[in-house]
Amino acid sequence: MERKALIEAVRTQMPERRWQHTEGVMQTSIVLARRFGAEPERAELAAILHDVAKFWPVERMREAIVEENRYTDVLAYDKELWHAHAGAYAAGRDYDVRDPEVLDAIRYHTSGRERMSLLERVVWLADLIEPGRNFPGVEQIRTLAEHDLRGALIEGFDTTIAYLLAKKKRIYPLTVLARNDLMTEGG
């Protein structure tokens, strides 16, 4: 699908406020991709589609995850995590995205995972620090993201995990694995 048509198609899937978030993720993904050597076009494509399933009814998300039958473990965890998998499924099926790295950047944009690709890192971080985000600690992550991708990701995962702990939420283990993997990566 051509870029402009894709943007219009995705925009109609969500309220204006969430679309503004998506625009922020698009913008930040391009900046981070250029800064750290990823391909800006692929980062932007993943960003456009990352929340495409965010407003699907829960049952539709569940059906997509069951039909895909690859990551059904996520169904035992918070529903907030489901839209990322359902979104990757929709991107492939409804929006003709064939690039597996773009699909994985959509799929892991909420949880992260071990051995994240550069594109996955860029989109995960962009989702966290786009200009519309405002949570304690975001400025520190933005500052790190100016020069240190890995450091910004570790700080970002720490903040996410601390938030989940403070809220007494269950933690999808892939996020912990993502964080630990980044810590060992630097030696």
Report CA 115 to chain centroid distance, whole Å: 15
- Within 8 A by CB and 6+ apart from 77, the residues are 170, 172
If binding is defined by CB under 6 A, does position 172 make contact with ligand ADP?
yes
If binding is defined by CB under 6 A, does position 28 make contact with ligand ADP?
no
Query: Is residue 27 within 8 Å of 38, Cβ to Cβ?
Result: no
**Whose Cβ is closer to ligand ADP: residue 128's or residue 187's?**
128
Q: Contact with ligand ADP (CB under 6 A): which of 62, 164, 177, 181? A: 164
Q: How far apart are CA 124 and CA 117, in angstroms?
A: 10
If binding is defined by CB under 6 A, does position 175 make contact with ligand ADP?
yes
Query: Is residue 107 within 8 Å of 174, Cβ to Cβ?
Result: no
Q: How far apart are CA 52 and CA 8, in angstroms?
A: 12
Give the binding range for ligand ADP (CB under 6 A) out of 27-35, 56-64, 97-105, 164-172: 164-172
Amino acid at 126: A
Q: Contact with ligand ADP (CB under 6 A): which of 14, 77, 132, 138? A: 77
**Whose Cβ is closer to ligand ADP: residue 89's or residue 172's?**
172
134: left (phi over 0), alpha (psi -120 to 50) or beta: beta
* Binding to ligand ADP, residues 86-125 (CB under 6 A): 109-111
Q: Contact with ligand ADP (CB under 6 A): which of 42, 44, 51, 74? A: 51
**Whose Cβ is closer to ligand ADP: residue 56's or residue 172's?**
172
Q: How far apart are CA 33 and CA 40, in angstroms?
A: 5
Amino acid at 114: E
**Whose Cβ is closer to ligand ADP: residue 77's or residue 99's?**
77
Give the binding range for ligand ADP (CB under 6 A) out of 64-72, 134-142, 148-156, 157-165: 157-165
**Whose Cβ is closer to ligand ADP: residue 20's or residue 117's?**
20
CB neighbourhood size of 58 (10 A)? 11
Kindly list the residues in this chain that would bind ligand ADP in the complex (CB under 6 A): 51, 54, 77-78, 80-81, 109-111, 127, 160, 163-164, 169, 171-172, 175
